[in-house]
């Protein structure tokens, strides 16, 4: 099978969407499929055997790590030469709209997937009044596809509620060989806590953006005597967060990768995740695979991953003391924390990237089979 993948973001950018796409490309290529990636130009032309066609992009003013890439006529030439069986558009916004256009124009079956909860993001950047309009635009784009995939049941239900059709679940995945409890280390605890390895260590990993609501961790930090907080990652809100957390025991670590990142997860006492806009929350699965207990907002895709009191703790994000109470409970009971660690690891081991990609391939085959049947019906009429 030959798959043309259109995405608004790709390697070497670091986020959950890119992680999923990279693992998907790797496993598709390994299975003998061929993938061509269209993305904003990040300076690469190949990834794990797949060709990457970079389209000139321009930094997004409010989020310079992201690039806006407008579809260009050259895409058609490259696409026709590749001759894909199917086009998969990830988060159709700008470049992805070109993928939708060419799928329709060249009569290539189309799959779309939804990974970023943009309508909710608007509220964190002062544009909440545009949410109804954005849902209409998303509906118009996604309803061009033969199949729309989401990474959690919460998002499947939300898209259906907003009139998006033919929606199904693309199962989660996590690298349990990389993220594992054995990588816990006192040296990493010392690094994350800036020389205080015996203090309670709270961890956040992810994009430092307003939509992640990282400021809500500050009251938790201040409520736990002697606690230290490590924020791993970077993003457009870093300067504001550094000012907001000034005077607290907070360490802005920056990006970590590979075994360093896995060790950070495994070495922390609690992973705090206050975001209410997650379509899945891949970092939660990575924390769980590493045996790090999670304290997370009971919203969105998080509810697909965390079972309260079994493999982590959930809190009501509308309760100002919810995260504080959950974190105190976690840190106060060592035996319960060990049970959460074990159960979190067990849950994560259920979800491999190989299985998630096999499921995706089955979806692709179903779309192609449906297209063939429809073509045969038209020919016989």
Q: How many CB atoms lie within 10 A of CB 307?
A: 14
Taking CA atoms, 259 is separated from 144, 177, 294, in Å, by 41, 10, 19
Provide the CA 47 distance to its chain's centre, in angstroms: 19
Contacts of 107 (CB under 8 A, 6+ apart): none
DSSP, residue by residue, 202-257: EEEES---GGG-GGGGHHHHHHSTT-EEEEE---TTHHHHHHHTTTSSEEEEE---
Q: 234 with 228: CB under 8 angstroms?
A: no
Distance in Å from the first CA to the final CA of the chain? 29
DSSP SS3 for 88: strand
Q: Cα angle vertex 18, ends 74, 288, to 5°?
A: 170
Q: What CATH superfamily classification does 2-173+352-380 receive? A: Glycogen Phosphorylase B; (3.40.50.2000)
Residue 73's nearest CA partner among 110, 101, 47, 44 is 101
Domain 181-348, classified CATH 3.40.50.2300, yes or no = no
DSSP, residue by residue, 104-126: HHTT--EEEEE-S-HHHHHHHTT
Q: Say what the pTM is.
A: 0.84
**Residue 280 confidence (pLDDT):** 78
Q: For residue 50, what is the enclosing H or E element?
A: strand 50-55
Q: How many CB atoms lie within 10 A of CB 171?
A: 18
**Residue 380 confidence (pLDDT):** 56
The whole-angstrom separation of Cα 377 and Cα 381 is 6
DSSP, residue by residue, 163-199: T--SEEE------TTTS-GGG--HHHHHHHTTS-TTS
The whole-angstrom separation of Cα 84 and Cα 72 is 18
Question: Which pLDDT tens digits describe the chain residue by residue (381 residues)?
Answer: 999 999 999 999 988 899 999 999 999 999 999 999 999 999 999 999 999 999 999 887 766 777 889 999 999 999 999 999 999 999 998 999 999 999 999 999 999 999 987 767 666 667 778 788 888 999 999 999 999 999 989 889 999 999 999 999 999 999 999 999 999 999 999 999 999 999 999 999 999 999 899 999 999 999 999 999 999 999 999 999 999 999 999 999 999 999 999 999 999 999 999 998 887 788 999 999 999 999 999 998 899 899 999 999 999 999 989 999 999 999 998 888 999 999 999 999 999 999 999 999 999 999 999 877 666 555 555
**Residue 165 confidence (pLDDT):** 97
What is the spatial order of strands in the sheet that 86-90 belongs to?
Answer: 46-47, 50-55, 34-40, 2-7, 86-90, 110-114, 147-150, 167-169
DSSP SS3 for 264: helix
DSSP SS3 for 281: coil
Q: Where are the domains of the chain?
A: 2-173+352-380, 181-348
**Residue 14 confidence (pLDDT):** 85
**Residue 121 confidence (pLDDT):** 66
Token digits for 203? Answer: 């961890």
| Same topology between domain 2-173+352-380 and domain 181-348 | yes
């Amino acid at each position: 099978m030959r798959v043309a993948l259109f995405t608004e973001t790709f390697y070497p950018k670091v986020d959950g969407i890119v992680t999923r796409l990279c693992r998907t490309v790797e496993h598709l290529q390994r299975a003998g499929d061929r993938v061509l990636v269209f993305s904003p130009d990040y300076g690469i032309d190949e990834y794990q055997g797949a060709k990457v066609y970079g389209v000139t992009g321009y930094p997004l003013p409010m989020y310079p790590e992201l690039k806006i890439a407008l579809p260009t006529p050259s895409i058609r030439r490259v696409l026709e030469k590749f001759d894909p069986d199917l086009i998969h558009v990830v988060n159709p916004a700008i470049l992805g709209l070109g993928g939708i256009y060419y799928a329709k124009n060249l009569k290539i079956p189309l799959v779309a997937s939804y990974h970023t909860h943009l309508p909710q993001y608007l509220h964190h950047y002062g544009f909440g009044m545009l949410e109804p309009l954005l849902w209409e635009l998303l509906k118009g784009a996604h309803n061009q596809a033969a199949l729309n995939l989401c990474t959690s049941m919460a998002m499947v239900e939300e898209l259906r509620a907003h009139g998006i059709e033919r929606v199904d679940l693309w199962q989660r995945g996590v690298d349990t060989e990389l993220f594992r409890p054995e990588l816990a280390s006192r040296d990493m605890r010392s690094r994350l806590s800036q020389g205080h390895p015996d203090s309670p260590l709270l961890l956040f990993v992810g994009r430092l953006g307003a939509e992640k609501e990282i400021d809500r961790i500050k009251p938790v930090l201040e409520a736990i005597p002697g606690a230290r907080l490590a924020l791993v990652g970077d993003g457009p809100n870093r300067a504001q967060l550094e000012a907001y957390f000034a005077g607290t025991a907070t360490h802005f670590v920056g990006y970590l990768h590979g075994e360093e990142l896995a060790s950070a997860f495994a070495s922390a006492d609690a992973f705090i995740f206050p975001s209410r806009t997650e379509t899945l929350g891949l970092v939660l699965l990575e924390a769980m695979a590493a045996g790090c207990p999670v304290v997370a907002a009971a919203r969105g895709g998080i509810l697909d991953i965390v079972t309260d009191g079994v493999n982590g703790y959930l809190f009501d994000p509308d309760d100002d003391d919810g995260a504080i109470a959950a974190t105190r409970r976690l840190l106060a009971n060592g035996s319960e924390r060990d049970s959460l660690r074990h159960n979190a690891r067990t849950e994560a081991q259920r979800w491999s990237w190989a299985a998630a990609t096999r499921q995706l391939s089955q979806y692709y085959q179903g779309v192609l089979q449906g297209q063939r049947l429809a073509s045969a019906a038209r020919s016989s009429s």
